[in-house]
């Protein structure tokens, strides 16, 4: 059976993939950029837009990192504002479970769901570093094992809070004078190693019952967490082989949690470059990659892998001849990608040198090669065909498109690729439902189902 494709749009983030130096690049903070981005996505009938989050500005060599876009708005607040200027599109926010409490996050998402008429989604992430913790009263450091445990119980607690209102409590009957059908709505009690809370939740049940739950973890624990409790996974595997492997693995875990394949969508992030022809797109893609890796950015990547300051280093010459500094102390803080570098920096440096030798590449050219290759490059026809083939081959259920220009970079995809997918009958011509669950093809929640989900999460 032909699958329907799910498409979403990721507001360009604070990595070097976002090309702020392009003359077309607009503000990353003014509301007009968000409005334009969201309205473009809605014009393309996309399922949802996606916002990332960061809670401490990145540092390198003990200084605030200044080469990428820096600065972004508060996730909840900008999503609530976007609900005012859009009608259909889902509003997905990344919210950290480490530096928050379940009662507050649950009421913020329930509020967002009410205020958007059932369009909210939560990408549940965890953090662990004391570096970010320095901005919070919760502060501190969580060991790797405790991280998922706390995230799991945080979500379980939030699910209990959303379920604490059944949805039939409010009568608002002015004749009888009964506002509530029950004297103690929202009553809850939750106790585990991380949370010991009780009382009454103060937001009535929202249109979707709760936000759609996204998860982005990739470890074995993360995949189980998602299989137990998420509605969708924000993954990094946008190629055929890696995508199929991840897809099969995660979907294969669902039966253990009493769930079916359609209850968890796999949605990798994907970058793209379009051209009139495939050859033109390839050429533009090369230019974009050079813009994404300025000489200064190339040096920063090399410093991250070598884990040392290399002032005066010429990125147009060869890579450093010495091995990276292996240490628990990293020169870069607040950046997830650096942990990939830190796993085995000596071997990775050898691999980079191998590439340099094979292709006679300068240090910067190696960085351009190894980072930020776009997922989809080609004519609109090629990209539409590729996306459809990948989805039909079970490499994904759809893609979260990440443009490299804010806010206008999404428009070519919406105007050129989406119509081709609509013509082929694999993407909606118009919205057919009102909630994000509708767009994602997820059945409406009944309270009993949610309780099952909460139990599954609690049981781990």
Partner 1 sequence: MVPTPAPLHLAVALDGAGWHPAAWREPDAQPQRLFTAGYWTELARHAERGLLDFLTIEDGLDLQSDDRFQADSRTDRVRGRLDAVLIAARVAPVTRHIGFVPTAITTHTEPFHLSKAIATLDYVSAGRAGIRVQVAARAGTTAHFGRREILPLEPDRLGDPDTRRLIADHFDEAADYVEVLRRLWDSWEDNAEIRDVATGRFIDRDKLHYIDFEGRWFSVKGPSISPRPPQGQPIIAALGHASVPYQLIARSADVGFVTPRDAAHAAEIVAEIRTEQARAGRAGMTVHVFGDLVVFLDETKAAAVARRQRLDERAGTEYHSDAHIFTGTAIGLADLLQEWQAAGLSGFRLRPAALPHDLTQLTERLVPELRRRCLFRARYEADTLRGLLGLGRPANRYAAA
Footprint of partner 1 on residues 84-123 (CB under 8 A)? 84-85, 99-101, 103-104, 107-108, 110-112, 114-117
User: Residue written as tokens 């200044």?
Assistant: 66
Our finding on whether 170 is near partner 1 (CB under 8 A) is yes
Please identify, using beta-carbon distances, which residue of 206 and 235 lies nearer to partner 1.
206
For the CB of residue 290, give the shortest distance to partner 1 in the complex, in Å. Answer: 12
Is 76 near partner 1 (CB under 8 A)? Answer: yes
> Which residue lies nearer to partner 1 by CB, 134 or 344?
134
Question: Among residue numbers 176 through 205, which ones bind partner 1 (CB under 8 A)?
Answer: 177-186, 195-204
Token look-up 């533009």 returns 284
Tell me the closest approach of the beta carbon of residue 158 to partner 1, in angstroms.
Answer: 13
Stretch 278-337 residues interacting with partner 1 (CB under 8 A): 294-297
* Residues of span 371-390 touching partner 1 by CB under 8 A: none
Nearest approach, Cβ of residue 233 and partner 1 (Å): 25
Is 68 near partner 1 (CB under 8 A)? yes
The answer to the question of residue 61 lying near partner 1 (CB under 8 A) is no
Among positions 3, 4, 43, 55, the unique one binding partner 1 when judged by CB under 8 A: 55
Q: Closer CB to partner 1, residue 35 or residue 355? A: 35
Distance of closest approach, residue 296 Cβ to partner 1, in angstroms: 3
Q: Which of 412, 436, 411, 335 is nearest to 33 (CA)?
A: 411
Q: Which of 4, 39, 43, 72 touches partner 1 by CB under 8 A?
A: 72
Stretch that binds partner 1, among 51-59, 216-224, 239-247, 390-398 (CB under 8 A): 51-59
Nearest-10 crossing angle of helices 295-306, 363-370:
80
Candidates 69-77, 212-220, 225-233, 373-381: pick the segment binding partner 1 (CB under 8 A).
Answer: 69-77
Q: Is 174 in the site for partner 1 (CB under 8 A)?
A: yes
Question: Is residue 168 within the footprint of partner 1 (CB under 8 A)?
Answer: no
- Residue (103 or 272) nearer to partner 1, CB: 103
Binding mask 236-275 for partner 1 (x = CB under 8 A): ----------------------------------------
- Shortest approach of partner 1 to residue 222 CB, angstroms? 24
57, 240, 254, 325: which one binds partner 1 (CB under 8 A) = 57
- Scan residues 343-372 and list those touching partner 1 (CB under 8 A): none
Site string for partner 1, 135-154 (x = CB under 8 A): xxxxx---------------
Least CB distance to partner 1 at residue 60 (A): 11
């Amino acid at each position: 059976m032909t699958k329907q494709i799910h498409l979403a749009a990721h507001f360009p983030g604070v990595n070097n993939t976002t090309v702020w130096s392009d003359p077309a690049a607009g503000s990353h903070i003014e509301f007009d950029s968000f409005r334009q981005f969201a309205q473009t996505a809605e014009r393309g009938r996309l399922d949802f837009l996606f916002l990332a989050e960061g809670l401490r500005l990145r540092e390198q060599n003990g200084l605030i990192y200044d080469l990428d876009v820096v600065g972004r708005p508060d996730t909840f607040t900008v999503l609530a504002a976007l609900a005012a200027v859009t009608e259909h599109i889902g509003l997905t926010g990344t919210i950290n479970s480490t530096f928050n409490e379940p009662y507050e996050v649950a009421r913020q998402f329930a509020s967002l769901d009410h205020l958007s008429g059932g369009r909210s989604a939560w990408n549940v992430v965890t953090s662990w570093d004391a570096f970010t913790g320095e901005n919070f009263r919760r502060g501190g450091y969580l060991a790797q094992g405790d991280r998922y445990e706390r995230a799991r119980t945080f979500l379980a607690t939030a699910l209990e809070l959303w379920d604490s209102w059944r949805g039939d409590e409010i009568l608002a009957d002015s004749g009888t004078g009964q506002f509530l059908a029950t004297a103690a709505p929202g009553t809850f009690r939750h106790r585990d190693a991380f949370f010991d809370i009780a009382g009454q939740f103060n937001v009535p049940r929202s249109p979707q019952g709760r936000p759609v739950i996204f998860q982005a973890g990739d470890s074995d624990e993360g995949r189980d967490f998602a299989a137990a409790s998420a509605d969708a996974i924000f993954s990094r595997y946008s190629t055929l082989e890696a995508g199929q492997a991840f897809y099969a693995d995660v979907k294969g875990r669902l039966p253990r949690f009493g769930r079916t394949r359609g209850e968890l969508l796999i949605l990798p992030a994907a970058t793209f470059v379009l051209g009139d022809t495939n050859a033109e797109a390839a050429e533009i893609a090369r230019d974009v990659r050079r813009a994404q890796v300025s000489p200064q950015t190339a040096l920063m990547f090399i410093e991250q892998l070598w884990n040392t300051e290399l002032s005066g280093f010429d990125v147009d010459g060869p890579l450093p001849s010495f091995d990276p500094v292996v240490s628990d102390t990293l020169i870069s803080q607040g950046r997830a990608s650096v942990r990939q570098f830190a796993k085995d920096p000596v071997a990775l440096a050898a691999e980079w040198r191998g590439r340099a030798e094979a292709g006679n590449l300068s240090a910067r050219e190696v960085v351009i090669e190894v980072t930020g290759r776009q997922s989809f490059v080609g004519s609109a026809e090629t990209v539409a065909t590729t996306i459809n083939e990948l989805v039909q081959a079970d490499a994904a259920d759809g893609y979260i498109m990440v443009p490299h220009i804010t806010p206008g970079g999404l428009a070519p995809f919406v105007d050129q690729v989406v119509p081709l997918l609509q013509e082929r009958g694999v993407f909606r011509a118009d919205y057919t439902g009102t909630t994000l669950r509708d767009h994602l093809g997820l059945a409406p929640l009944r309270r009993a189902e949610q309780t099952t989900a909460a139990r599954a999460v609690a049981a781990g």
